[in-house]
Amino acid sequence: MVNRRRLLIDAGNSRLKWAVVEKGQWCAHGRSDYTDWAALKAQLKAGTDCFIASVTSAANEHQLAELLEATGINAKWLTAEAAFAGVSNRYLSPQQLGVDRWMGLIAVRQRTCRPVLVVSVGTAMTVDALSADGVFLGGVIVPGVNLMQQALTQGTARVADATGHWRPFPRSTADAVQSGIVAALCGTIRGQYAHLAEASGTPPLCLLTGGDAETVLPHLDVPAEHVPALVLEGIDCVAQGEQPR
């Protein structure tokens, strides 16, 4: 296998994550929002193979494409497929599945052959079920931490846009909002965990990724593991499958 330098990019709704792989090793990684490209620019070299999983806006994608083209990098923009690397996509329209979710499922299958609940806590939270035989059974999408906060502050008259903290019995509005958001997200995860456990006949693994995973993780009452680079791992799996041998 030709070990070419490759750049992996996970372009989310709110921020961008990236990693550089050289000689089979992850040698650099980082994240940024879409207003500061300096860290990513420092890693750009002509001739690098670039693979992108994007769910961001068309405007952000255009900026990213221009940046890469100016450096002589031709990027491959990934999409969900019906099957890859032992994972079968049972979405009614496979390419409609968010590519970030698809990359997460591919990465999970490389880690284990157990049933897994894959949770990505970002701008939206997705909770996806993968069976022991690699079938993506389906998943749910709910607003993430910030979207829930925005909905309450914009849709109610007396909920201020203030930072609260989780409390078992909140006694301020800000704490009540934050605790309610955490409870709603944890409840969604708990419900899908129970569904997958029932369908599988065994307790599944639960893996959390996404920028707000650490907000939710301490309050989950199901065993869970934090895997921050899960989407990038999936992108790398696809990249290795498409590199020349």
Q: Give me the active site residues, please.
A: 100
**Structural tokens at position 155:** 């849709």
- Contacts for 21 with CB less than 8 Å, ≥ 6 apart: 5, 6, 7, 8, 27, 236, 239
**Contact by Cβ (8 Å): 74, 52:** no
Q: Indicate the DSSP class of residue 96.
A: G
Q: Enumerate the H helices of the chain as residue ranges.
A: 38-41, 58-70, 99-111, 145-155, 173-200, 213-216, 230-242
